[in-house]
C-alpha cells in the first residue's frame, strides 16, 4: 500500500531502509526527513505491506537551472518489492503536477536503469572533488 508520510511514526523503518544505500549519511538524511514531514515543499512516500515499510521515496522542491523542480533526495525499495517503485514515482509525479512543477530530478548511480524503467532522461553527469 502506498502511503504519504505526515508523522514520524515510520521514520525508523525508513532510516533502516536507507542504510542499504551505499555512502548515505544517515544522520543527515534523518534530519532532512524530520524537516520534510508535514512540509508543503517535501513529500515522503512509502510502500507498506503488513505494517512493514518495503520502500520509500523522499522528494523536495528545489531550484535547478532557474526553475522549481522536485529533487529526489533519497529513495530505496527492497528487491522483493521492486515492482512498487513505479507507484512511488507516480505519487511524486502527481504531487509535482499539483504544484505545477515540470521536472523531477534524481541523482543515481544507475542512470540507464532509471531512463529505461522509469522514463527519466539522462540530463547531465555529476562529478565530485574533495576540497583540498
**Residue 36 Cα distances to 31, 70, 73, 99, 127, angstroms:** 9, 13, 11, 16, 27
Q: What is the pTM assigned to this prediction?
A: 0.89
- As given in the structure block, the three cell numbers for residue 99 are 504544484
Indicate if the pLDDT at residue 14 is higher than 90: yes
Indicate if the pLDDT at residue 19 is higher than 90: yes
Alpha-carbon span 65 to 69, nearest angstrom: 9
Question: Which stretch of 21-25, 39-43, 45-49, 52-56 has the lowest confidence by average pLDDT?
Answer: 21-25
**Residue 35 Cα distances to 11, 86, 92, angstroms:** 12, 25, 18
Q: What percent of the chain has pLDDT over 70?
A: 99
Mean pLDDT of the 85-104 span: 96
The pLDDT of residue 118 is 82
Q: Structural domains in the chain? A: 2-118 (3.40.630.30)
The pLDDT of residue 74 is 96
The pLDDT of residue 82 is 92
The SS3 of residue 6 is: coil
Amino acid at each position: 500500500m502506498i502511503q504519504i508520510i505526515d508523522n514520524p511514526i515510520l521514520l525508523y523503518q525508513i532510516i533502516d531502509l536507507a542504510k542499504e544505500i551505499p555512502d548515505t549519511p544517515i544522520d543527515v538524511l534523518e534530519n532532512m526527513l524530520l524537516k520534510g514531514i508535514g512540509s508543503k515543499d517535501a513529500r515522503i512516500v512509502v510502500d507498506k505491506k503488513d505494517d512493514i515499510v518495503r520502500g520509500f521515496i523522499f522528494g523536495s522542491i528545489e531550484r535547478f537551472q532557474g526553475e522549481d523542480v522536485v529533487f529526489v533526495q533519497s529513495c530505496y525499495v527492497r528487491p522483493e518489492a521492486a515492482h512498487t517503485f513505479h507507484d512511488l514515482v507516480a505519487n511524486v509525479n502527481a504531487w509535482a503536477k499539483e504544484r505545477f512543477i515540470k521536472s523531477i530530478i534524481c541523482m543515481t548511480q544507475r542512470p540507464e536503469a532509471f531512463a529505461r524503467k522509469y522514463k527519466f532522461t539522462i540530463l547531465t553527469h555529476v562529478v565530485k572533488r574533495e576540497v583540498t
